[in-house]
A and B are shown apart, each in its own frame.
Chain A
């Protein structure tokens, strides 16, 4: 892998006297453990689509399949374990776009998001957190065995996710606070590869960052000794985590890479030289112009494919716009069933489908990147008009090397948990965690334990 930092260490150690201030015992530096060629490692992508689908409900709260336009249909075979399996389901009007890739998809029906707040913002708050303080992507990224094995723990991207967005319009959380997706792919890409500033030219190989990190660590640690309250200590501990992450990345990107060739060449990114930067006096910035959405979204899915393929990270998120999306009137459109709504969703789905195909074409481990990567596609609402959280339109793509079989629909029994509702969606989050090798029994604060049966074959 070509990076500007190949010679960093040698030159750095020779010149930087401050290197002696490094405090390796206190700084938790996990060296990246890169996968050997041919080895399969599980990867995950969290993909957000805004504002629900058309899924009207019957009196008992389950989806009215005779009217709904989203959930695929077909005869289900009862598994005897609380769910029925439909093989080769027939795509519905709003899922028709997935027909070409349905062999890779497991659609889920009968999952409810329970407890927590309602409507758009309530759904966004809990969909990845289960009403806890950290979203699943963040939890996975903090695991030594997952995020700790790659130069960057996770990446959290958006396509116009921060444009005209309220402060509670996003889905990723750390310490109970919303983490904003990155809308600028160029900036995100440079960050991922540690391509820092462009303002100073240093002699070959010199990079002041490592010694800066050591100094910052010392200063933050000293501040923590100030007899501060718990909130402040958490804040500073998070800062130290960030210092460690930056350190880890600087170490990681200097390592030779085992990923699949061309994709890992930094220079091959953004072949069309799309520019995203605009001054902050410019409104809206380029990354938030409607007409640039396609370019931005394509670059973001490309970054995800590259970073996963090159073992730069194993955890990625992408938000298409945000809840109550202003993008081409999507939120307004999502209040009434129409062809316009189908078209608008298909537009968002097109980037997902393109990414799936790109992953399918990318060798990885013993098969393709799609075989190793589980893509969790989700929204903050079930029905866009009802603004409800019953029978959520969740589905999973890929992950075939780790037990995921496609071309199925699993329909979970209503009242399986005895509350007249569907199955708590945090069980799905537990299953995704297990997929990634994080063996937990419960996720979030809903008090529900166990994983979702039937997902892994």
Chain B
């Protein structure tokens, strides 16, 4: 599978010199509509980022060649590779490479400025197939105009060149994890793809922040506007905007919080932090202590003075500040002043503005505290993070990592990662639909809530208690069920509300979550299209073209003699339909073993939905194939287990998790500029044998984590 992908890609890369980049566009036409993670996979096609960087930093070919020469040594020494069998003379190989290949492929195989054709992930055998097989070298040299033809380098020449390339060029081997993921040789200094931004708190973040600041447990955001979602994620700052409704809702919440603060000044966290009540000093202390917690940074002197005015707004004009030396007056002062702090943009948004550093901006210590905190616990920085920021102890990757590890070690950290997973799986509480009670009587709100619990429980168990490996998310061999779901699914005999491991052969793993089956279904019927599209877009990160306009999209009629799959034959018989449906229909049909409510079924029961009469029972046809899973790889499967196996092993599903996590952490709409950051995170993930915690923490080690542009 992987080999086929990489060979295809490298055959693109090694195409005729004179072909240049444009010849490959037809081969990658689908990738033009894909998002960033598939761009990583297919990025071995012509314009590699390294060649782009080179061309951007230099205006002459010779200087490009000179500058890349110096990196040759470090590239080869830092990336020891396993040489293929056979004897090579690297000096001879180098000479032959320079004679036959360099003019097009460049000094390090990354391509030259005029012909950016990198040598990618091909391995010794692939190179021999190209060179000794009579395809390479070929074309007209862009610098000298020399004509190259395949017979110029065959036999031992091809062998020596292949040996030289595989020993010296990173990315040219087909043996490691890196090439399997289609890495294109991004530098670890990936720059700053993310723009400086204001990130509006989500409802969840808002509520968590307030409750953490004051030690409360209040419901505050029930009537707030729901966020827009980007690939399931509610925290995309690009699409969040404050409208009049938001301000009203914020004020309403601030008022409630303020009332609770006034009542609780001497108890709980408030009492501990303040240790006082009822006088001017205490009002000042309130601002000193809670101002920085609310703004997630120290207040400036100007801010302190300005906000103090709010706190003394009820002091009569003929009175001095000493008026507040009265317990009721002090309490009123907090009532007048606290809403102002809570309505400030410095509370409502977490800033990622940074300080200028070279061409980029580096996030401030306190911005880093917020980024780490909202990433790993979905809330405002705790005292340890604020203290670290105050002390200038949040400036190194090691420091970021230490806090990330500390927070992931807490229940809250683990819950927050489960929250990430639920948004990645795009099947949260707000998305799981109602069902027709005439057919799904036992499906109720409690089941829906437990279905969300099931996803969280599995993610946490795999990541923090079991192997920690990616593959277990797809093929755990067990399900995490509570009593509600155990009863509803008819699997196991769990008797408590605690999610418990239930070994069974019906369900377990992402593809069998009740939440996904139920949210991608109508009130009566399962939806193979919605389910297949979900797998393609959310789990493989392969976005599909938008629905065509101006065409009829008829829903197939119910025919009691035909199972769902047979009713969708229009999709495969009409080439206009099939152009898109071929990517996801089979996947959806494999998931037909779950009905609209998420229950497992052996047969599809055909009902007359109006009369509720059962008409027929038909076998479910699950066998099919997944196409274009890694590049143009395709795999057949017999059933859902087979599909899960494919997903477990596919590069695209692994790198998709990376992409989705990166999307969640960074909180904006991704573009091509994020490719190298994601690729470097993919490397971290791959190097750990796809250990999830390593991925979760690994993002803090990216250069781009703390840099903005």
Q: A interface vs B, CB < 8 Å?
A: 14-18, 21, 57, 114-119, 121-122, 152-153, 156, 162-167, 174-175, 177-180, 182, 184, 187, 190-191, 194, 196-203, 206, 208-209, 211-212, 215-216, 219-220, 223, 226, 228-229, 231-232, 235-236, 238-239, 241-243, 245-246, 249, 277-281, 283-285, 290, 326-329, 331-332, 335-336, 338, 340, 383, 385-390
* Contacts A199-B256, A235-B237, A338-B610 supplied; 6 other A-B pairs, CB < 8 Å: A116-B549, A182-B225, A191-B249, A199-B255, A208-B340, A336-B555
| Residues from chain B with Cβ under 8 Å of A166 in the complex | 229, 431
Most interface-central of A57, A152, A231 (chain B CB within 10 A) = A231
| Residues from chain A with Cβ under 8 Å of B148 in the complex | none
Given known A118-B553, A196-B255, A203-B314, contact A226–B196 (CB-CB < 8 A): yes
Whether B623 sits at the interface, judged by CB under 8 Å, is no
Contact of B553 among A57, A246, A326, A386 (CB under 8 A): A386
Q: Are B344 and A215 in contact (CB under 8 A)?
A: yes
User: Could you tell me the distance in whole angstroms from the C-beta of B24 to the nearest C-beta in chain A?
Assistant: 29
Contact of B309 among A17, A115, A122, A279 (CB under 8 A): A17
Which secondary structure dominates where chain B touches chain A? loop
Stretch at the interface among B119-127, B165-173, B239-247, B644-652: B239-247
Q: Are A242 and B244 in contact (CB under 8 A)?
A: yes
User: Looking across the interface, which residue of chain A has its beta carbon closest to that of B448?
Assistant: A283
User: Could you tell me the distance in whole angstroms from the C-beta of A396 to the nearest C-beta in chain B?
Assistant: 25
| Residues from chain B with Cβ under 8 Å of A152 in the complex | 244
**A to B CB contacts below 8 Å, 22 in the list:** A164-B430, A165-B226, A174-B241, A187-B252, A191-B248, A198-B259, A200-B255, A206-B314, A208-B339, A211-B313, A223-B198, A226-B353, A231-B195, A232-B195, A239-B242, A246-B248, A280-B221, A326-B523, A329-B436, A331-B523, A385-B554, A388-B553
Q: Are A238 and B241 in contact (CB under 8 A)?
A: yes
Q: B interface vs A, CB < 8 Å?
A: 195-198, 207, 219, 221-223, 225-226, 228-230, 237-249, 251-260, 262, 306, 309-310, 312-317, 332, 335-337, 339-340, 343-346, 351, 353, 429-434, 436, 445, 448-449, 522-525, 546-555, 557-558, 609-610
Most interface-central of A116, A197, A242, A290 (chain B CB within 10 A) = A197
Contact of A389 among B222, B229, B315, B549 (CB under 8 A): B549
Q: Are B309 and A18 in contact (CB under 8 A)?
A: yes
| Residues from chain B with Cβ under 8 Å of A278 in the complex | 222
Q: Are B244 and A235 in contact (CB under 8 A)?
A: no
Cα of A389 to Cα of B339 in the assembled complex, Å: 48
Contact of B238 among A16, A114, A231 (CB under 8 A): A231
Cα of A245 to Cα of B433 in the assembled complex, Å: 35
| Residues from chain A with Cβ under 8 Å of B557 in the complex | 336
User: Could you tell me the distance in whole angstroms from the C-beta of A8 to the nearest C-beta in chain B?
Assistant: 13
User: Could you tell me the distance in whole angstroms from the C-beta of A391 to the nearest C-beta in chain B?
Assistant: 12
Cα of A15 to Cα of B229 in the assembled complex, Å: 43
Q: Are A197 and B255 in contact (CB under 8 A)?
A: yes
Q: Are B239 and A177 in contact (CB under 8 A)?
A: yes
| Residues from chain B with Cβ under 8 Å of A18 in the complex | 306, 309-310, 313
User: Could you tell me the distance in whole angstroms from the C-beta of A295 to the nearest C-beta in chain B?
Assistant: 16
Contact of B258 among A162, A182, A199, A235 (CB under 8 A): A199
Given known A196-B248, A196-B252, A219-B344, contact A206–B553 (CB-CB < 8 A): no
Q: Are A200 and B262 in contact (CB under 8 A)?
A: yes
Given known A203-B314, A332-B525, contact A284–B445 (CB-CB < 8 A): yes
Cα of A156 to Cα of B219 in the assembled complex, Å: 24
Cα of A175 to Cα of B238 in the assembled complex, Å: 11
Given known A116-B549, A121-B547, A332-B609, contact A209–B251 (CB-CB < 8 A): yes
User: Looking across the interface, which residue of chain A has its beta carbon closest to that of B259?
Assistant: A199
Cα of A355 to Cα of B237 in the assembled complex, Å: 38
Most interface-central of B228, B229, B243, B448 (chain A CB within 10 A) = B243
Cα of A178 to Cα of B230 in the assembled complex, Å: 12
| Residues from chain A with Cβ under 8 Å of B258 in the complex | 197, 199-200
Cα of A15 to Cα of B249 in the assembled complex, Å: 25
User: Looking across the interface, which residue of chain A has its beta carbon closest to that of B243?
Assistant: A242
Cα of A242 to Cα of B169 in the assembled complex, Å: 56
Given known A197-B258, A199-B258, A332-B524, contact A387–B243 (CB-CB < 8 A): no
| Residues from chain B with Cβ under 8 Å of A388 in the complex | 550-553
Cα of A241 to Cα of B314 in the assembled complex, Å: 28
User: Looking across the interface, which residue of chain B has its beta carbon closest to that of A231?
Assistant: B238
Cα of A239 to Cα of B558 in the assembled complex, Å: 50
Q: Are A387 and B313 in contact (CB under 8 A)?
A: no
User: Looking across the interface, which residue of chain B has its beta carbon closest to that of A290?
Assistant: B434
| Residues from chain B with Cβ under 8 Å of A335 in the complex | 555
Q: Are A180 and B225 in contact (CB under 8 A)?
A: yes
User: Could you tell me the distance in whole angstroms from the C-beta of A256 to the nearest C-beta in chain B?
Assistant: 23
Q: Are A122 and B549 in contact (CB under 8 A)?
A: yes
| Residues from chain B with Cβ under 8 Å of A163 in the complex | 430
Q: Are B246 and A242 in contact (CB under 8 A)?
A: yes
User: Could you tell me the distance in whole angstroms from the C-beta of A171 to the nearest C-beta in chain B?
Assistant: 14
Contact of A243 among B239, B247, B255, B430 (CB under 8 A): B247
Contact of A202 among B196, B219, B336, B345 (CB under 8 A): B336
Cα of A194 to Cα of B550 in the assembled complex, Å: 44
Cα of A258 to Cα of B609 in the assembled complex, Å: 53
Given known A117-B547, A197-B254, A332-B525, contact A179–B243 (CB-CB < 8 A): yes
Cα of A240 to Cα of B239 in the assembled complex, Å: 16
Given known A164-B431, A191-B245, A332-B523, contact A206–B555 (CB-CB < 8 A): no
User: Could you tell me the distance in whole angstroms from the C-beta of B90 to the nearest C-beta in chain A?
Assistant: 48
User: Could you tell me the distance in whole angstroms from the C-beta of B528 to the nearest C-beta in chain A?
Assistant: 15
